[in-house]
Structure 1
Amino acid sequence: MTRQTHNDRYDVVIVGGGPAGLNAALMLGRARRSVLVVDNDQPRNAPATHTHGFLTRDGTPPAHLLATGRDEVTRYGGHITTGLAQSATKDDDGFTVALDTGRTVRARRLLVTTGITDDLPDIPGLRARWGHDVLHCPYCHGWEVRDQPIGVLATSPHSVRQALLFRQWTDQLTLLLHTNPHPTPQEAEQLAARQITVVTGQVTELDTTDDHLTGVHLDTGDLVPLRALAIAPRAVPRARLLTTLGLEPTPHPSGAHIDTDPTGLTPIPGVWAAGNLTNPAATVLLSAASGSTAAGAINADLVAEDTRDAVRGMNDPFTATTEARLCEQTMGDRRHGL
C-alpha cells in the first residue's frame, strides 16, 4: 500500500526523467508507491528530431515521448519536479536528496537514471550537426541516411567494426582514419571485401550547404563528399549524485558506466541505476525496459521491508495492543454509522 507523502517523504525518489526514469515511475505508481521524479530537462537525445526503434512509437519526437510519459506518471499519482539533484546522503531510515532549488526530499529507495553526456570529437562544425546528419547509432538513424554517402570517423579501436556495421545501410561508405592508425592486414582485407573506401588524413572541418552536411575537409586539402557522418562519442556518465554516495563510474570500452546487478541494484544497498547510465549503448526502448526492471525490483524490496515491519509490529505487545484498540474503535464506529 502506498505511503502517503509527508514533508517531502516518498517511497522512491527517481533522479532523471528520461525513458528509464519515467517508465520506472509509471510502474511504481501502478504499484501504489509514492514516487517523485527529479529532472533537469536536459535529455541526451534532445538534438534528435525523432525517436526510432520503439514499437508503436517509431518516429515520435523525443520531447513528445517525454511529455506523454510525464502525463502517464502523474495519472497514477506520481510527482515530477524540475531541478538538479546535487547530493544524497544515506542513513538508517533511507536517503536525503538535496536539490539545487533548495528543496530537500526523503526517500526509502533511490533510483538514478541521469544518463550520459556524449563527449564529441573537437572538430569545427561537428557539434552543430550532432543528432541530425552526424550520428552514432545505425539502428536509430541508419534508415534515414540509407543509400547515401556515409563516412565513419575513426576515433577508437572499434571504428573498423563500426564501419562494417554501417555498410549494411549503404554501399557508399568511407572510413576516415582521422587520428587512428592504419587497419591491420586482416581489417584491411575485410574492408576491401565489403568495398569500403579507406581515406587517410585528419578531418579538420565539416562542410555544409543549406543546413545539410555535404562533406568533410581533410588536412591534406581534400574534400570528401558525404551526406552523413558516423562517430563513436565517448560516454561520460552523469554520476554526480552517485559520487556523493561514494560510488564511482567503472571504465567501459566506450567511456564509463555504473556497475549494477541485472535488476539495476548498485553496490550501495537501496540504490538502483538504469538506462544509459548503466549501458551507454542502450536505445530508448532498452532504457525504458531497464527502468521497468528496476521498478519491479525496488517494489519487491519495499514489500519485503513492509512485511518485516508488520511482523515486528505484530510481535511488539504495545504496538499490537494499540492496533487492536484502533481496529475495535473503527468497527464500533461502523456499527454506529459513523
Structure 2
Amino acid sequence: MQNEWDAVVIGGGVAGLSAAQMLGRSRRRTLVIDGGMPRNRFAAHMHGVLGHDGRPPAELLATGREEARSYGVEFADGAVAELIDEADLLRVVRTDGTMDTARAVVIATGIRDVLPDVPGLNQEWGRTVLHCPYCHGWEVAGRRLGVLATSAASLHQVELVRQLSDDVVVFTSEPFDETTVVRFTARGIRIVRDEVRAAHGREGALEITTASGDRHVVDALFAGGAPELDLGFAAGLDLARTDAPGAPLAADLRGATSHPRVFAAGNVTAPFGNVPLSMGAGSMAGAGVNGMLAAEDFALAVTARTAERNAAWEERYAAEGRFWSGRVNATVAAVVAPLEPGTALDLGSGEGGDAVWLAEHGWRTTGVDVSTTAVTRAAALAASRGVDVDFRTGDGAASVGGEFDLVLASFLHSWEPDFPRLRLLREAADHVAPGGRLLIVTHAAPPPWAREVPDHAPVMRTPDEELSLLALVPDQWQAEIVEVRRREATAPDGTPAHLDDGVLLLRRRA
C-alpha cells in the first residue's frame, strides 16, 4: 500500500501531536505514525505543565489525538523502518511494509532513558527512581532523598535535590574533588563513597545496597539516564547532529534540520526537555513545515503557470506557417553594427531574424526561445543563409548558462500581466561577461495608429524607467545608450507611420 500526504509525523507524543495539530489546522493532509511508547509512560502524573499539573500523561495524549483528529489528522499504529529521499518527496517505509510518500516529515520519536547498570533501577523507574527534580521533586519534598552520581551533570542534580529536602545523600563510586566536598558538606549533604550494586523497592521506599554490603534506605533516588535516540530509520538522510549527550538532531527554532524536507521536535532535538518544551517545539515544527509547504505551493504554481505560458507561445507559432519576416530589427542592427563581434545570446530569439543577422556579422551566436516550433524555423533560416547559430529551446538566460559579450533582449513583451519580464532581464544581466553589453530594445509607446490601448496590453516603459527598475549595481555597469529612437513603419492601412523604440545599452565594467 502507498499513501500520499503533505506531512508525515513520526511519533505521537506531545511533540508529534502538537506538530500534527498545527498541520491539521493549516488544512494539510497529515498522518501520524506512532508506536505507543512515549518516554513518560512510566510516570503516573505530569507536573510543571501549566494547566495540566497532576494530569496523567496518557490522558493528555488521548485528548491531543482527539483534537488532532478533529482537524483531519489521521493516525496509524506502527513504526518507520526507513526514510528515502526522492527529491521532491520523501518515501516513508513502515516496518510492516506499508509505504507512504510525504512532501515533509516531522521526526518526533523522542528518546529512551538508559539507566545505570544497577539491578532494580529499571523496575522502580518512575516510582521511587526519578530523573527530574522539576517534574517529580515536589511530591517527595522533605523526605529522604538520594542522588546516584554518574556524571558531571549529577552535581547539578544534587544541588537541585538539596532544595527539596534537608535529608540528602549522594552515592558515588568516584571521589569528588575538594571543592565539591566542601560545597556538599556545607549544605549538609552526606556523601557515600561506595559503588551502588542494587536497588530494591521496600513498601514505598527504596533500599540501596553498596559494594561494601551497606544498606541505605531513601524515599526516592534521583538517577540521570543517558539519552538514547533510535534514528536508524533516517540514517540514509545523513541528518546533522549536535555534540550534546545522545547526539540529538540539529534543528533551528522552526524545527528545520539539515534536510530541507525533514523537521524535528521534542526530545530528539532536546533530550532533557520537559513536556511544555516539547509541546512548544512540536507546535513550531508544525508551523515550520506548513510555511515551507506554502512557499513551495507558490513556487509550483509559478512553474505550472510558466509552462502554461510557454505552451501558449508554442501554439501561437505552430498555428501559422511563419510569424515574423525573418529580417533583423532595424534598431537592433543600428546599435550592434559598431560593436566588435564576440559571443552573443539572443533571448526570445523567435524565428531567428536577429540571431541570424548577428551570425552573418561575425558574432558567435546562441538563440533561445520557449517555442520548439520557433527554434526549428530559426535553425532552418540559419541553414538557408549559410551561418551557424546554436538555437535552443529554453526559458531565458538561466536555461543556457555561461557568459556572453552581448546579451540581447529584443521586444521581450507579453500580454500576460504576470509575465516575469524583470526577472528575465536581471537574469540576462547576470550572463553578461565583464566588458560585455546588455542590449534591451523595447516598445517605448503604443503604435500611433492604436487609438485605444486595452487594459491588458503589455506595459511599455521608457528606457530610463527600465534602467531604474533593473536596479543594477551602479559601480558595476555603465549606461552607454538610454534613449527612445524613432523608427519608420507602415500603418495597417498602408500609410507611412513611425514606431518609438526604447534602447538601453549597458556595459558591464571589466
Q: Is the shorter-chain TM-score for this pair beyond 0.5, marking a shared fold?
A: yes
Q: 2:109 aligns to what SS in structure 1? A: coil
C-alpha separation in 1, matches of 2:40 and 2:11:
13
Structure 2 unaligned runs (5+)?
313-510
Aligned to 1:279: 270
Matched, 1:123 2:118: yes
Partner of 2:41: helix, strand, or coil? coil
Match of 1:195 among 188, 192, 197: 188
Task: Supply the distance in 1 between the matched residues of 2:73 and 2:311 (Cα, whole angstroms).
Answer: 32
Query: Which residue does 2:107 correspond to in 1?
Result: 112
297, 304, 311: which one aligns with 1:306: 297
What is the rounded CA distance, in whole Å, between the counterparts of 1:240 and 1:20 in structure 2?
A: 20
Name the residue aligned to 1:264: 255
Tell me what 2:17 maps to.
22
Please point out which of 230, 234, 255 is paired with 1:238: 230
Deviation track 1:276-334 (CA, whole Å, cap 9, x = no partner) reads: 0000110011101100011111111111100111222223336997xxxxxxxxxxxxx
**1:185 equivalent in structure 2:** 178
Q: By how many angstroms is 1:90 displaced? A: 0.8
Q: Distance in 1 between matches of 2:253 and 2:24?
A: 22
In structure 2, what is the equivalent of residue 95 of structure 1?
Answer: 90
Shift of 1:191: 0.7
User: In the TM superposition, what is the alpha-carbon distance from 1:257 to its structure 2 partner?
Assistant: 1.1
d(CA) in 1 for partners of 2:310 and 2:297? 15
2:67 is equivalent to residue 72 of structure 1: yes
1:37 and 1:80 in contact (8 A); partners too:
yes
Q: What is the 5 A alignment of 1:31-46?
A: 31-46=26-41
Partners of 1:158 and 1:308 lie apart in 2 by 47
Is 1:293 equivalent to 2:288 in the alignment?
A: no
Equivalent in 174, 184, 198 of residue 205 of structure 1: 198
Larger radius of gyration: 2
Deviations 1:37-65 (A, max 9, x none): 00011111111111111111111111111
> What fraction of aligned residue pairs are identical, expressed as a percent?
39
Measured against aligned partners, the alpha-carbon deviations of 1:91-149 in whole angstroms (never above 9, x if no partner) come to 12210000012210000011100011111111111100001110110110001111011
The amino acid of 2:181's aligned partner reads A
1:249, distance to aligned residue in structure 2 (A): 4.4
| Secondary structure at 1:310 match in 2 | helix
1:163, 1:77 → 2: CA distance?
A: 46
- The answer (yes or no) to whether the contact 2:240–2:257 under 8 Å persists in 1 is no
For residues 262 and 122 of structure 2, the distance between their equivalents in structure 1, rounded to whole angstroms, comes to 34
Which 4+ residue blocks in structure 1 deviate beyond 3 angstroms? Answer: 248-251, 318-321
In structure 1, runs of 5+ residues without a counterpart are 1-5, 322-338
What are the superposed Cα offsets for residues 216-248 of structure 1, whole Å, 9 maximum, x if unpaired? 111112111200000111001121222132236
TM-score by length of 2: 0.59
Paired position in structure 2 for 1:223: 215
**How far is the alpha carbon of 1:19 from its aligned partner?**
0.3
Find the aligned partners of 2:58 and 2:66 in 1 and give their Cα distance: 12
Matched, 1:157 2:152: yes
CA deviation vs aligned residue, 1:196-222 (integer Å, no higher than 9, x gap): 111111111113223x23321111121
Is this contact kept in 1: 2:4–2:100, CA < 8 A?
Answer: yes
- Give yes or no for contact 1:314–1:320 (8 Å, CA) kept in 2: no
Q: Give 1:84 deviation, angstroms.
A: 0.7
CA contact (8 A) 1:87 1:99 kept: yes
The 8 Å contact of residues 18 and 283 in structure 2, kept in 1 or not, is answered as: yes
Letter of the 1:42 partner, please give it: M
Q: How many residues align?
A: 312
* Aligned amino acid, residue 112 of structure 2: T
